Chains A and B, each alone.
Chain A
């Protein structure tokens, strides 16, 4: 945490309200995001208990598993989830626009532009918290190797159709969420704490209710009081008033409410199975339905507050204007979405359990590059983020006090004007260090020449001044202008090209060979998914 964020947090403590940590919104928000509030069963890996899901804040779809240990009921849940998520995804996959993509020509090895389809927009998935991201990944992993009866008639427990496809999409979204700055799958707590500094620790910020309490406390309460209430206050029956955002549930809820309800459901089901005449069966079916409804009501009571909180958080974020380069990053997300859509359409197998060396290295390189890009773009979009970089000596801003025309040596002298900037910042400049400023959205580079006294720096502008002998108007700052130079580059350079998978060196396991289709997980009588 930088000092400037620390200060913001302490100001939040002092004022009793979260303080801005950003002045613009740094993540894309879809007009129609799909919000997913899942709950899981404690101790069972990826055994969902229920979820609220949907794109309409007033009409979420409630899915519940009355007995999470029952495979058929879990499959029914996943099939229902697929019926909600996949049509939403398909709607975006169908609408495309023409775009260009640079590809390496396999024959000449040159970079050429090719025509490609790009989805006009992409579906966006929102979960309440970071644990929700992990759960999406886990659900994806648990489903994508399942076999349907159509794929494998001998599968011992065939999955409902479309469930493996949902697994592939969730896996893709889970992987993409690891790329810094991507917005296909967002955890609301992370986005909110990017934009506001609360008067509590980062650990406590992972509680959605407490985080919202700091950002937007109810009338008459300070953020600290409201956050404490959200975290700890229980009703007379011992249940939390603001249930955890999940997917894990509160142990008191599990033990006092959920376990008895599930037990009633089990008993009703056993009774129904043992019913001997139709009249008796009718009564017992009614009892079973009632027991099932009880579990559904319990799931709804734990997910609905979170559901409302997620939409409230989205409202708060929407009130911020989007950063200038958010759209550009979203376009990368759209490419990512389109790429996966094409892989699914081409009939490629699901993502492997383990990436081969080249894919893994590429993924890491992408994440590193995107991290650099995100840091630079956020600073350029947002004066508050830039202030943090100025404080750490990675940028400086000030007023131009002098401009001296100068020229490069050589046959055709080009303009290399010297600009003197007076600044209060203390940048860590080495001799001839490169600095950059944004000129109409494109980086103009300059070189540090020297220091003419306290806070007076001279830089030489190097490019973006046109081809003529005189710099183009507007391309060189004038006396009295406010300028901001950064020591970091604005655009990320691609790293060294990695070899093709077939050329993987032996140090990295050698070529992966023919991709063998991944076997489905072995199933046992009592396994959970």
Chain B
């Protein structure tokens, strides 16, 4: 399902897109890293992940072309098995892996997978954000680590089918441009935590068939339907919007609108739920805070009323202070015009 098209049909298009400058630069960098049969890349893998092994000269780079994603997945699995049997270094350029996500098969394409001489496998992730003085943007490194963790899980499934089971390294190699050049530099990233989190989340996911089974008969997400029909169809799938969705999902703007219409408090951030106890909508919270509804013995309600009273008191005292200041200014004969007091703020165009 094309969620971006669906979002557009719903009237809340996603803001995702990639600049062609970034795309060109990213591709050029990856090509440079993998040039000469991946010599530079293997040198980095050797130096950062497996310095004890022999130097990677003349590594095998098997051809992985095949028909369709299933064909490529099978070809990759075969190449991995052969590489372990052959020993030595092998570089798999853009292999294809399959991972079971909630009952449906997802195909993944890591930038590269390297087979070590001892038969171990490791994932290589090539990114075009820079590593300046040995450190990179933590948010981007975190995203890369989460992505690599998924590849590690998929590789482990392939490995489990072999005998003896080869080791899949939990340290992946992140390759980035160094400083302000486009020379590659690498850093080992430990993805054990991300791997564990992803594995747990995958195990907990509701299976796609169950979600589909719970949908009313005739639900259809085809983008050529009317916005009302689609809204009803999307509504049938339960989702809880939180601001983090904006960075990850094409439908986030749609869900945000729905959350706003429903008055859900989580659209201001997930932690709010913990603070507000059982109060889930803005209306409920405000009514409870102003003493109109809610059980005063409920600790969340009591805390809210206290907060509302303190806030009102503080704002009142600030207003009094502002009035005093204005009075003092007037007394000093420098009465400000109301226009200056408002800060001469022009309206938004």
Q: Which residues of A contact B (CB under 8 A)?
A: 1, 3-4, 6-11, 13-14, 20, 23-24, 41-46, 138, 141-142, 199-204, 212-213, 216-219, 224, 226, 230, 232, 249-252, 254-255, 259, 312, 315-316, 318-319, 321, 353-354, 382-384, 386-388, 390-391, 424, 521-524, 526-529
Q: How many A-B residue pairs have CB under 8 A?
A: 172
Q: Do the beta carbons of A254 and B20 come within 8 Å of each other?
A: yes
Q: Do the beta carbons of B348 and A353 come within 8 Å of each other?
A: no
List residues of chain B with CB within 8 A of the CB of A1: 269, 271-272, 275
Q: A20-B315, A316-B345 are in contact. Are A201 and B253 (CB under 8 A)?
A: no
> What are 29 A-to-B residue pairs whose CB atoms are below 8 Å?
A3-B275, A7-B289, A7-B308, A8-B311, A10-B285, A13-B268, A20-B315, A23-B318, A24-B318, A43-B25, A202-B243, A203-B247, A203-B269, A204-B243, A213-B348, A218-B348, A230-B348, A232-B253, A249-B19, A319-B341, A319-B342, A383-B317, A383-B318, A384-B311, A387-B311, A521-B180, A524-B182, A527-B182, A528-B180
List residues of chain A with CB within 8 A of the CB of B286: 10-11, 14
| Assembly CA distance A260 to B265 (angstroms) | 44
Q: Do the beta carbons of A201 and B268 come within 8 Å of each other?
A: yes
Interface size on B, residues (CB 8 A): 69
Q: Write out, one digit per residue, whether chain B residues 278-290 have a CB within 8 A of any chain A CB (1) or not (0).
A: 0000110110010
- Chain B residues 241 to 296 lying within 8 A of chain A, measured CB to CB, are 243-244, 246-247, 253, 260, 263, 265, 267-269, 271-272, 275-276, 282-283, 285-286, 289
Q: Do the beta carbons of A315 and B344 come within 8 Å of each other?
A: yes
Question: Interface segment, B65-73, B89-97, B125-133, B167-175?
Answer: B125-133
Q: Do the beta carbons of B181 and A524 come within 8 Å of each other?
A: yes
| Assembly CA distance A23 to B286 (angstroms) | 22
List residues of chain A with CB within 8 A of the CB of B24: 43
Q: A232-B253, A528-B180 are in contact. Are A41 and B21 (CB under 8 A)?
A: yes
B177: Cβ under 8 A from any A Cβ: yes
User: Which of A224, A318, A388 sits near B343, CB closer than 8 Å?
Assistant: A318
The minimal Cβ–Cβ distance linking A306 to chain B, given in whole angstroms, is 13
Q: Do the beta carbons of A44 and B21 come within 8 Å of each other?
A: yes
List residues of chain A with CB within 8 A of the CB of B269: 1, 201-203
Q: Which 9 A-B pairs have the closest CB atoms?
A: A43-B22, A319-B343, A23-B318, A251-B17, A42-B19, A43-B25, A201-B243, A254-B19, A527-B181
With CB as the reference atom, state the residue of chain A lying closest to B344.
A315
Q: A45-B180, A203-B244 are in contact. Are A10 and B268 (CB under 8 A)?
A: yes
The minimal Cβ–Cβ distance linking B23 to chain A, given in whole angstroms, is 7
Task: Indicate the member of A6, A384, A424, A526 with the most B CB atoms within 10 Å.
Answer: A6
Q: A3-B303, A10-B265, A255-B19 are in contact. Are A529 and B314 (CB under 8 A)?
A: no
B240: Cβ under 8 A from any A Cβ: no
Q: Do the beta carbons of B25 and A138 come within 8 Å of each other?
A: no
The minimal Cβ–Cβ distance linking B65 to chain A, given in whole angstroms, is 28
Q: Do the beta carbons of A203 and B271 come within 8 Å of each other?
A: no
List residues of chain B with CB within 8 A of the CB of A232: 13, 15, 253
Q: Write out, one digit per residue, whether chain B residues 22-44 have a CB within 8 A of any chain A CB (1) or not (0).
A: 11111000000000000000000
Q: A13-B268, A251-B18 are in contact. Are A46 and B315 (CB under 8 A)?
A: no
List residues of chain B with CB within 8 A of the CB of A384: 311, 314-315, 318
The minimal Cβ–Cβ distance linking A393 to chain B, given in whole angstroms, is 11
| Assembly CA distance A255 to B182 (angstroms) | 23
Q: Do the beta carbons of A527 and B180 come within 8 Å of each other?
A: yes
The minimal Cβ–Cβ distance linking A252 to chain B, given in whole angstroms, is 6
Q: Do the beta carbons of A387 and B275 come within 8 Å of each other?
A: no
Q: A10-B268, A216-B348 are in contact. Are A386 and B314 (CB under 8 A)?
A: yes
